[in-house]
Amino acid sequence: AQSVAQPEDQVNVAEGNPLTVKCTYSVSGNPYLFWYVQYPNRGLQFLLKYITGDNLVKGSYGFEAEFNKSQTSFHLKKPSALVSDSALYFCAVRDSGSARQLTFGSGTQLTVLP
Amino acid sequence: SQTIHQWPATLVQPVGSPLSLECTVEGTSNPNLYWYRQAAGRGLQLLFYSVGIGQISSEVPQNLSASRPQDRQFILSSKKLLLSDSGFYLCAWSIPGLAGGYNEQFFGPGTRLTVL
């Protein structure tokens, strides 16, 4: 079975500071990992994905994520947060050995304080 | 470029009334299509997905059904709404075929359904 956990419901960070949104996963095969962002009353927007290759993945709006196989983690990062980054962030996983579709985490609300 | 549309944007319906939400995709052929429900602004629950016309897979038993009458049209329906059907309904698509299951999904703007 595949699962994903976002251990923090809420993350607050000051504008200009680095931000990290945590995600851990569990799969039986190789993981396919995704990050999405959702603004209020909107659909989800794709940020980045890890399928294979370089463990550091760069995505939209200056976000990046690091795949760590030994820690089964895929944390989202940004060197310098903007107030406009405030939104709900979702991590998602697909098990390469499973017919199941994407499983989403419960989401982390990021608030960037001016 | 590809775009995905959902309507209506908001809907208020009484308990026991029928439901029909529509999703259409432009700019691609034979996409994989998905219906999700998001309750209380948080986690997403996959309701249905489709890899082709008339091919619907249900992830959870419930009061809802889905249909795909045309290649790029995906409809979510109910004969009788329950209070628990309230939520934010999101449609999504991915590239066709098996590879679509391993690539990103692109989401529509969503429909806010309130059942009273």
What φ, ψ does residue A61 adopt, rounded to 5°?
60, 25
In this prediction, residue B59 carries a pLDDT of 82
**Integer angstrom CA distances of residue B86 from A94, B14, B15, B41, B90:** 27, 11, 10, 12, 13
Over 90: is that where the pLDDT of A97 sits?
no
| Contact A46/B at CB under 8 A | yes
Residue B23: per-residue pLDDT: 98
**From CA A2, how far away is CA A73, in angstroms rounded?**
14
Give the tens place of pLDDT for each residue, B12-41.
Answer: 999 999 999 999 999 998 999 999 999 876
What pLDDT score was predicted for residue A68? 96
Q: pLDDT tens for residues A37-92? A: 999 888 999 999 998 889 999 999 999 999 999 999 999 999 999 999 999 999 99
Task: Give every CB contact of residue A31 below 8 A, 6+ residues apart in sequence.
Answer: A2, A25, A50, A72, A74, A93, A94, A95, A96
CB contact under 8 A, A43 and B105: no
Q: What is the Cα–Cα distance from B115 to B13, expressed in whole angstroms?
A: 5
Q: A70: which residues sit within 8 A by CB, 6+ positions away?
A: none
Counting residues of chain B whose pLDDT is more than 70, the rounded percentage is 93
Interface size, chain A vs chain B, as Cβ–Cβ contacts under 8 Å: 45
**Facing residue for A46 by CB, picked from B34, B46, B106:** B106
Residue A82 sits at the chain B interface (C-beta within 8 Å): no
Tokens of B94: 């991915």
Answer whether residue A100 shows pLDDT above 80. no
- Cis peptide leading into A18, omega within 30 of 0? no
Quick check: A104 contacting B, CB < 8 Å? yes
Q: Does B25 touch chain A (CB under 8 A)?
A: no
Contact B63, B85 (CB under 8 A): yes
Q: What is the 3-state secondary structure (H, E, C) of B26-52?
A: ECCCCCEEEEEEECCCCCEEEEEEEEE
- In the predicted structure, residue B1 carries a pLDDT above the cut 90: no
Contact status, residue B6 vs residue B111, Cβ threshold 8 Å: yes
